[in-house]
Amino acid sequence: MLLSGSGSNFAAIAAAARDGSLPIEVRAAVSDRPAAYGLERARALGIPAEAVPVRDFPDRAAHDTALAARIDAYAPALVVCAGYMRIFTPAFVARYADRMLNIHPSLLPAYRGLDTHRRALADGARWHGCSVHFVSDELDGGPLVAQAPVPVLPSDTEATLSARVHRAEHRLYPMVIGWFARGRLRCQGGRAALDGVPLSGPVRVEGLYGEV
């Protein structure tokens, strides 16, 4: 898994793998930030964790080449971006075409990029949420797989809305990874397909934002 920060999605996925509800082996956590707390979480679970710091490379292409070498050392069937905050080069995306997923904290195509909760509140949006998609060259624009809608409450602040979306993320992402692991989900011809049927839109999964 690739991460840049606290690794809350990493922790949720690793927990599902440990309890047997998600039929995967989490082979490693790799970060662009040596101090990322997600790496500490991985090490505490006995999962290999390492950093490929951006500052060690002259440009983005060189960094992505080194990052790909570390990923390939673990031979993953799926590359999972769990809060990885860097934009990949086209060559990197092509290397893992159709086997790299990302989760984004909005109902794409709304609010691509950063500060999604703040922007949703500023717009007076009634619904927010999270989306899982295959990674493409387009920022937060790859083939959509699934979305979990989250209501925006009149009393919401950026922090309370973020917490509700995170609860949905921690349930939706393991679910979608499980579809891939069980052979139900594939990306073919730039389009996600579930159970052999191309998706005309993301699968909408309701009610994932409640208290755990």
Reply yes or no on whether 117 is catalytic. Answer: no
Other beta carbons less than 10 A from residue 162's beta carbon: 16
**Are 192 and 198 in contact, with CB atoms under 8 Å apart?**
yes
Regarding beta strands 144-151 and 203-204, do their DSSP bridges make them parallel or antiparallel, or are they unpaired?
parallel
Transcribe 20-59 into DSSP letters. TSS------EEES-TT-HHHHHHHHTT--EEE--GGGSSS
- Residues 63, 104, 128, 133: which is the catalytic one? 104
Say whether 160 sits in a helix, a strand or coil: helix
Dihedrals φ, ψ of 21, to 5°?
Answer: -75, -20
Give exposure, 93-131, as e/b (b: 16+ Cβ within 10 Å): bebbebbbbbbbbbbbebbeeeebbebbbeeebeebbbb
Catalytic residues: 104
